[in-house]
A and B are shown apart, each in its own frame.
Chain A
């Protein structure tokens, strides 16, 4: 640790350290996708109850993140991207992260069940269990398919949002889940192509570590080809309209172009191409992977924002007519 980090670690934890345990950036994505599922469900929910449901889903996601940081502190300490997290940096005790995770898990599931419905609460409980136990404790350290299967945890929030609004999870809700599920592998493998040294040092069997960069680039291309039809499927079921078709189609074409550049490039071949610890600051050799990683976030955001916009617009137009 650097001297300022040591000085900081000697102090009692600040409230901001506990907020950091909840991975607020991931929480914001969960809030966004869960809200999209809730709005797309088409059943108007009392705005206050809707806000409470979103709060419970966000806190549940934060709880699973805290459990992840408790269990993965040893791995996080060996990776440049994660060594500044509160537990490996010594700012928060591992036991505190565990306690926070358990308490917030129980509260979020119970409040969601009591306030909204127990089907949504059950889905939230399953999501927390899947991320904290199945992914964190089992898949992550065991198989190169860790983020493929584990991606289900990040893909479930729109289904929980839908279930909170209607008490059901129809095909359209699972389509939203499928979009995030299929998006996760190319997104994380693009990142891991230029952070694989971290994963190797930490003993995490990410695909570039176990199968090499060339195999990872091939996998990114195949999963990208599979992703685009899934992103277009909501148009076939009527969940997405013409604006969504345009965004998913044109955005998907750009996604495929960037994925092809990764496929035909040399990203991941050079030893540690990062210039700084930042996620986007890489040398020329890794730019194709960095570009796909950054664009994948924009693409997913645009897809869900368009669905959200179309349904809100449809609801407003319906209210006016």
Chain B
């Protein structure tokens, strides 16, 4: 019987975990950015148009 080969990159499993963590962190950051942008457009709409909608000639 032969000994199982030692992986050439001993930090391989750790690297996969770190890569997954990095990807997950980026995805969360993009999600926060998108939600923030939607809120921003909503606020701009409310504050720029709000009064004008009520005060428009009927």
Contact = CB atoms under 8 A, between A and B. Distances in A.
Interface of A: 7, 10-16, 18, 46, 48-49, 52, 55, 111, 114-115
Contact of B25 (A15, A46, A114): A15
A12 B19 contact: yes
A11 B48 contact: no
A15 B26 contact: yes
Contacts of A48: 43, 47
Secondary structure of the B side of the interface? helix
A107 to B, nearest CB: 8
A13 B44 contact: no
Contacts of A111: 40, 44
B44 A52 contact: yes
B44 A7 contact: no
B18 interface: yes
Best-surrounded residue of B19, B22, B25, B43 (most CB of chain A within 10 A): B22
Contacts of A10: 15
21 contacts: A7-B11, A10-B15, A11-B18, A11-B22, A12-B22, A12-B26, A13-B22, A14-B25, A15-B25, A15-B26, A15-B28, A15-B29, A18-B29, A48-B43, A48-B47, A55-B40, A111-B40, A111-B44, A114-B48, A115-B44, A115-B48
A81 B47 CA distance: 44
A16 B25 CA distance: 9
Given A7-B11, A115-B48, A12 B23 contact: yes
B22 A114 contact: no
A52 B46 CA distance: 13
Nearest to B27: A15
A-B pairs with lowest CB-CB distance, top 9: A15-B29, A115-B44, A14-B22, A12-B22, A15-B25, A15-B26, A11-B18, A12-B19, A11-B19
A233 to B, nearest CB: 35
A108 to B, nearest CB: 11
B57 to A, nearest CB: 24
A114 B45 CA distance: 10
Contact of B26 (A14, A46, A52, A114): A14
Contacts of B26: 12-15, 18
A111 B40 CA distance: 9
Interface in B1-41: 11, 15, 18-19, 22-23, 25-26, 28-29, 40
Contacts of A46: 47
Nearest to A10: B15
Nearest to B32: A15
Given A11-B22, A114-B44, 9 more contacts: A7-B11, A7-B15, A10-B15, A11-B18, A46-B47, A48-B47, A49-B44, A49-B47, A52-B40
